[in-house]
Amino acid sequence: MREYLLTLCITAAVTYLLTGPVRKFAIVAGAMPEIRARDVHREPTPRLGGIAMFFGLCAGLLVADHLPNLNEVFTKSNEPRALLSGAALIWLIGVLDDKFEIDALIKLGGQMIAAGVMVMQGLTILWLPIPGVGTVSLTQWQGTLLTVALVVITINAVNFVDGLDGLAAGMVCIAAAAFFMYAYRIWYGYGIEAAAPATLFAAILMGMCLGFLPHNMHPARIFMGDSGSMLIGLVLAAGAISITGQVDPDAMKLNLGGSARDATHAMLPVFIPLLMPLTIIAIPFGDLVLAIARRTWKGQSPFAADRGHLHHRLLDVGHSHSRAVLIMYFWSALIAFGTVAYSVHSTNMWILLLIVALSAVGLVLLLLPRFTPHAPRWAENFVPPRYRRERRSPAGAAAAERADGAAPEEAYGTSGEPEPGEASGDRPAVGAGVNGATALGTRPRFLDRRKAGSSR
């Protein structure tokens, strides 16, 4: 475990330290597209964040190759080299797209070629565990087609969900953490060395996302672009392919006696590799299916960009940018970690009840877009300002209401936050009149803060 943590930390550090210089390079190279109708950011932001993530991937693999225990992954398997070859190809296509906006069909062809390169080097699905049937061996063509399909679907699912600051990197990081827990348990819990490459891929993927997130959280200073979204999608798919079809039920020493239902429950750890790739990208995959259906229904190309993704709908409902991202994080974590917990304790009804309860909490969060929780008085110094109760004397509150002609909640909603897509510095402070005057004077408060040196 310590070597995995070391690999994760070095990957995250390299990605974090390189993202700043990459941002300056992207600005100089002109990789700052104009604001489009479907975009939610208000200022041109450089792309090419995938460059830093790719070098973080290379650093992680290089460090792991020189660690005593993880070195066995490279000596006994060719999968790390297959991953690096496919990642380099898909990263190069993404860099060209971030700069020159290449055609969608060309990108799709590049994704299929990258998947084919990994298949040629041994990173492929050999057999599938089917519930009620057992292990089914695949022919070479069947394994190749299934591998390519899984890679292409995962890459595009992650690419489609990359629409808000920090959304794609955070969701993939959550998925990688859940996958790491599962793969590590299969390796050390059951002693199956075939799960070692997938465990390493998950640790490196977490490092790539964690190193990039500080630069990508709202308001983002740089976007990962297609060079980053397609890269992390490919690494995520590679981990799933590496462990799917590599698990031997005999090696796991499962008790398959009794009825067919008992045998199915006993083989659940074998079935999870088949289900895990779907659960960890359930939200992006659902968004992908809805987008294809929506665009086809309108007579458009399935690859035509629009503003109808799930995160766009959350903003349209009334959620703020940060809250929409956190809601997507919540559902991704619930599905991914819920699946891992169920695979460990499949007969425990408390797991299902907990998942149902958390799902109800998620639905409540979706239905209350303008609800802002307030921290207790003793904790206000430890939370962001938007969660603090406004302290104002009764006389000051009455004067502010007379200056506005309306309560602050009537002007900006009950949450006190800006509307979706509206920057907090683009509207007058609470209590401001038509000309920006407040009850305390003629100068709005946000101008005073800017003069004092604070900026967005």
Provide the annotated binding site for Mg(2+). 159, 226
Dihedrals phi, psi of 187, to nearest 5 degrees: -70, -55
Can you tell me the distance from the alpha carbon of 59 to that of 13, in angstroms, rounded to the nearest whole number?
Answer: 10
Q: Is the peptide bond before 68 cis (omega within 30 degrees of 0)?
A: no
Distance of CA 248 to the CA centre of its chain: 31
The SS3 of residue 438 is strand
CA–CA–CA angle 53, 171, 179 (5° rounding):
85
Annotated binding site: 159, 226
**N-to-C CA span, the chain:** 40
Burial of 177 (0-12, 13-18, 19+ CB in 10 A): buried
Q: Is 390 exposed, middle or buried (0-12, 13-18, 19+ CB in 10 A)?
A: exposed
For residue 455, give both structure tokens: 């900026």
Largest CA distance in the chain: 81
Beta bridge partners of 128: 136
DSSP state of 129: E
Backbone angles phi, psi at 79, to 5 degrees: -65, -40
Tell the burial category of 127 from Cβ atoms under 10 Å away from its Cβ (0-12, 13-18, 19+). middle
Task: State the Cα–Cα distance between residues 276 and 253, nearest whole angstrom.
Answer: 21
Q: Could you identify the residue written with the tokens 């490279």?
A: 74
C-alpha–C-alpha distance, residues 334 and 174, integer Å: 10
**With contact defined as beta carbons under 8 Å apart, do 270 and 249 qualify?**
yes
CA dist., res. 451 & res. 25, Å (int): 30
DSSP character for 188? I
- Which letter does DSSP use for residue 280 in this model? T
**What letter would DSSP give residue 383?**
S
Positive or negative, the CA dihedral 5, 7, 11, 17 is positive
